[in-house]
Structure 1
Amino acid sequence: MAARKTKGVTQTQVADMLGRPQSFVAKYEGGERRLDVIEFLDVTEALDIDPCELLAQMRRSRDL
């Protein structure tokens, strides 16, 4: 969610880029569902984010 908000993109816009319903984005952002690796890569591509850097950031925040 933070990455999406940093880019200034709505859930609906991400969903449109992915060809999915807005509820798909809401569910993974809300922790109701998890993304598989391919979905994760699709999301990072849609947001123009380096997937490796995002994973590193997530790991750093988890280690705090």
Structure 2
Amino acid sequence: MPKTVTSPIQKKLAAMLVELRKGAGLRQVDLANKLGVYQSWVTHLESGQRRIDVVELIELGRAIGFDPAEVVRKLNKR
């Protein structure tokens, strides 16, 4: 089991988060402001340069407006 930011599931999650953010009409800077982080944090997350932990996924769900459990279910489908 790869524990790297380049794993296929991590890449899929990053792509899903970009799609969800854009679908919510948010720019990276808007999301960063909602989360209280720098825009570069969002950039690194979306570009796959950093892993996303469960707590971050929950916070992202709150900020963007998606159900983290649904995202995990979609990631689990092959």
Normalised-by-shorter TM-score class: 0.7 to 0.9
Gaps of 5+ in 1: none
1:21 and 2:38 equivalent? Answer: yes
Count of matched residue pairs? 61
Gaps of 5+ in 2: 1-17
Q: TM-score, normalised by structure 1?
A: 0.86
User: What fraction of aligned residue pairs are identical, expressed as a percent?
Assistant: 34
- If asked which structure has higher relative contact order (CA below 8 Å, sep 6+), I would say 2
Residues 1-64 of structure 1: pairs in structure 2 closer than 5 A: 1-60=18-77, 63=78
Following the alignment from structure 1 to structure 2, what is the Cα–Cα distance between the partners of residues 38 and 58? 17
Q: Deviations over 1:16-41 (max 9, x none)?
A: 00000000000010000011111111
Q: TM-score, normalised by structure 2?
A: 0.72
